[in-house]
Each structure stands twice: as C-alpha cells, then as structure tokens.
C-alpha cells in the first residue's frame, strides 16, 4: 500500500485532482493484464469481446502504468486480471476507491480459480464484477455491457448536473447584477429626490418640500389633536446687504442664516425650509406657542453668536432676523373658515405672515407671535428690556394703524383673526 500514499497525498493537496477529468470517448477500457502474449484463448476472450463491440482498449502490464493511465484520463471500465496482478490487484482497487476521481469507476476482476474466496475478495476490495474463466462469450458481454451502460448513465447525469449548475450560477449572477443595479438606481433616485427637495445653496429643504410637508403635518396634527407651529423668518434689509457685499457675500449670508435656523430647531421632526429669496420657514409639529417662541429665541441667539457684519443695516451692525409665529390646533379649527381658502392649512401661513409683517413694522430684529389674544412681540435676549413687548397690550390699536393692503392675503387676514379667536374660546 506504500505505493499509493504519495498519490493520495497529492490528490488531497491539489484541488484539480479532485475534479472529474474531461470525459473520455464512450467505451474506453483499461486492462491490467499480461501483455507478453503468453495466454490462452479464454484469457483473451474478455478483451476480444470488448474489441468486437468497438470499445477502445488500452492494455498495460505493470501496476504503475495502470495507475498513471487511469489517472491521466479516467476510463469507462477497468479490468484487472488476477493472473497478472495477484494480490496486488485487490490493494490497487482499494487505493482507487479512496480517490474522488475514481471512487465510482467500474472495476472488473478476471480470474481462473474455481474458488469462492477469489470472488469474495474481489467484491470486498471494491470491485463491481468478477468474471471467472472459462466464461461464455455472451454472458461475458452482458455483464460488461451492464457496467458500461451504468457508466454512460452516470456520465450523462454528471453532464446534466454540470449544465444545471452552470445555469444556476449564471442565473444567480444575473440576479446579483439586477439587485446591484436596483440598489444603484435606488441610491441614484434617493440622491435625485434629495436634490429635488433640497435648496442647492443652503442645503435645507426648498419651497417644494415645504409645500408637500405642510399638508402632511397639518393632517397628522388634526388626527392626533396636537398643535402645529410655523415660523416665517426674513433677513432684515437683505437687499442692502447684497448691495454692500455683493451677491457672493449674500450667498454666504444665506448659508449662515440657514445654519442658525437648523441649530435653533434640533428636533427630528422639525423642518427648516428656504421659503423665498431671503425668507425661511420652520415647521414645528406637535409644538405649542411657548415651544415655538423658544425655537425663535434659539435661532436669534445662534444668529447673534455668528455676528455676520451688516454695515448698511439701520437695525444693528450685524445680520438680524424678523420672525413671525403662528400656532394652531387643526382639530379645533372651525371648518366654516376654510370655505374661502383653497386649503384649510393655508390659514397657518396667513397667520405667520401677518406676524412677520408686524415684526417688520415694529422695528425688525424681533419675533411676533400671532395668538388668539393678539400680536405679541417677543424680543431677542440681546435687547435691553423684557422679552414680551408692551405693544402686546395694544395690539388692536397698533394694527389699526397698518397701511391698507388690498392683496387677497390681506382680505383673508380678518377671517384668520376670527378663526384663532374662536379657538381660544372653545373648550
């Protein structure tokens, strides 16, 4: 058995040796026999029968030659003549059975002894058939043909299996490519969607995003009986800023203001959007008036810390904001007031816009809250007086001095005033 150990180790170390070689021609037979020509007619009967059936016969007379021939190209059938191999034929068969490429190779032993022990030894070592000479020619062929048919069937199944595995591999690879393409397209769509809903300069949401988000948050607030707040912010004297520092400087100013707005509204659901040229909006879901005022103060504080120079501003030497706040509870909003509006949530925009307009009239650099009790001024912390302006107590007289505005929005503002006052008296 020492002869086969190096080969066994080689087959394990080399992955190529574990694969089935290229299929030889159908009916290839290797015979380990005495090639000296000194044999009787019966000994030659087996090979003669195979040759008559057009089988390709390779005869070898040495054990090493038999091994190399079989491993070079696995045949359809191996015949071992016990007259030539002796007991080594059994060990040779055992060695082949341990190799992946020859584990299923049909092996036929041919002997002349009239002993049952020879048949048992042939089958015990892994042989598929034992032919005892003398033997009838037809019986010899029928036994060999059965093995050759089995080999052809196995080879056909192996070929079908390999083809099926190749198809499965190709199909899986196609699926992987499709999945990779889908992921890539999804990522590209996500980027495109983000670009479509993001302001390119300030990287906050754009007006389109605001217009889509507001109805959703309004409906959620209505279903959950929660308040919703809107802050409209306008940079004070931004046209003068552009005239002084140029449009590139104006772009830097817009980016800094957007950053201050984002810092001031840090909750996950809050949305900062660029509403117009120098106007921004902050949507605050599930936020009451007090919470909205805190956000406005935080925004004003962040912008004050930025200290962006604004030499042409009559308010102060730094960039400042005017902010208008409106808070409503859509669930308590009277349906009758939405008849003159295209959408019921527009009343939130009108209320915040009225407050912003009032903040500008009252001197800018401040926040005005549009509440059921009137327009209340909330001054930033850097002012040298209280956060609530005394003007809150004289809201009606202040509003009566406002210039007449014949725009459609101005016509709807009294309607809004009735709406939020109606909310204030409802339980």
Q: Does residue 354 register a pLDDT over 80?
A: yes
If you average pLDDT over residues 22-41, what whole number do you get? 67
Structure confidence at residue 67 (pLDDT):
93
- Least confident range from 220-234, 359-373, 406-420: namely 406-420
Quick: pLDDT tens for 189-201. 888 877 788 998 9
Domain count along the chain: 2
Asked whether residue 44 is domain-assigned, the answer is yes
Contact 18, 100 (CB under 8 A): yes
Structure confidence at residue 381 (pLDDT):
58
Asked whether residue 171 is domain-assigned, the answer is no
Q: Does residue 392 register a pLDDT over 60?
A: no
Residue 320: domain span: 197-425
207 token code pair: 């007006």
| Residues with Cβ within 8 Å of residue 88, at least 6 apart in sequence | 63
Quick: pLDDT tens for 106-156. 999 998 877 778 889 999 999 999 998 888 889 999 999 999 988 888 888
How far apart (Å, rounded) are the C-alpha atoms in residues 32 and 84? 7
By the 10 Å C-beta count (0-12 exposed, 13-18 middle, 19+ buried), 6 is classed as exposed
Handedness of CA 297, 299, 300, 306 (dihedral sign): positive
CA separation, residue 371 to residues 288, 305, 362, 375, 418 (Å): 11, 29, 17, 6, 11
pTM for this entry: 0.54
26 token code pair: 């159908």
Q: Clarify whether residues 106 and 202 are in a common domain.
A: no
Contact 237, 225 (CB under 8 A): no
Final residue belonging to a domain, choices 166, 187, 219: 166
If you average pLDDT over residues 225-239, what whole number do you get? 95
Alpha-helix residue ranges (DSSP H) falling in 102-237: 116-124, 137-196, 207-224
Structure confidence at residue 118 (pLDDT):
85
Q: Does residue 265 register a pLDDT over 50?
A: yes
Asked whether residue 186 is domain-assigned, the answer is no
Q: Clarify whether residues 378 and 241 are in a common domain.
A: yes
If you average pLDDT over residues 160-173, what whole number do you get? 93
């Amino acid at each position: 058995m020492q002869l086969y150990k190096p080969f066994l180790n080689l087959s394990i170390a080399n992955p190529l040796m574990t694969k089935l070689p290229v299929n030889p021609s159908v009916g290839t037979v290797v015979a380990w026999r005495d090639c000296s020509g000194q044999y009787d007619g019966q000994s030659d009967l087996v090979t003669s029968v195979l040759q008559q059936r057009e089988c390709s016969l390779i005869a070898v007379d040495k054990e090493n030659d038999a091994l190399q021939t079989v491993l070079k190209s696995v045949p359809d059938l191996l015949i071992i003549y016990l007259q030539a191999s002796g007991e080594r034929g059994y060990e040779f068969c055992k060695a082949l059975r341990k190799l992946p490429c020859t584990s299923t190779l049909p092996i036929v032993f041919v002997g002349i002894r009239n002993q049952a022990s020879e048949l048992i030894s042939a089958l015990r070592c892994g042989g598929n058939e034992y032919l005892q000479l003398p033997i009838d020619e037809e019986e010899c062929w029928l036994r060999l043909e059965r093995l050759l048919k089995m080999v052809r069937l196995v080879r056909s199944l192996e070929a079908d299996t390999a083809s099926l595995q190749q198809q499965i591999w190709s199909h899986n690879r196609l699926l992987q490519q499709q999945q990779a393409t889908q992921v890539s397209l999804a990522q590209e769509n996500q980027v495109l969607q983000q670009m479509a809903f993001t302001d390119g300069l300030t990287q906050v949401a754009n007006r389109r995003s605001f217009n889509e988000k507001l109805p959703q948050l309004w409906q959620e607030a209505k279903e959950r009986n929660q308040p919703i707040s809107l802050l409209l912010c306008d940079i004070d004297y931004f046209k003068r800023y552009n005239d002084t520092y140029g449009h590139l400087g104006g772009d830097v100013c817009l980016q800094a203001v957007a950053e201050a707005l984002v810092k001031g509204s840090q909750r996950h659901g809050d949305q900062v959007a660029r509403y117009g040229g120098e106007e921004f909006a902050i949507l605050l879901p599930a936020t009451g008036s007090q919470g909205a005022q805190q956000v406005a103060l935080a925004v004003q504080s962040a912008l004050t810390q930025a200290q962006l120079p604004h030499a042409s501003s009559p308010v102060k030497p730094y960039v400042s904001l005017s902010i208008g706040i409106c808070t409503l509870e859509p669930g308590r909003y009277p349906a009758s007031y939405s008849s003159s509006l295209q959408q019921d949530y527009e009343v939130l925009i009108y209320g915040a816009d009225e407050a912003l307009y009032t903040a500008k009239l009252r001197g800018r650099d401040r926040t005005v809250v549009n509440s059921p009790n009137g327009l209340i001024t909330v001054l930033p912390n850097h002012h040298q007086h209280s956060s609530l302006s005394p003007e809150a107590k004289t809201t009606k007289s202040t509003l009566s001095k406002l210039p007449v505005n014949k725009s459609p929005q101005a016509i709807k503002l009294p309607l809004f005033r009735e709406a939020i006052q109606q909310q204030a008296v409802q339980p």
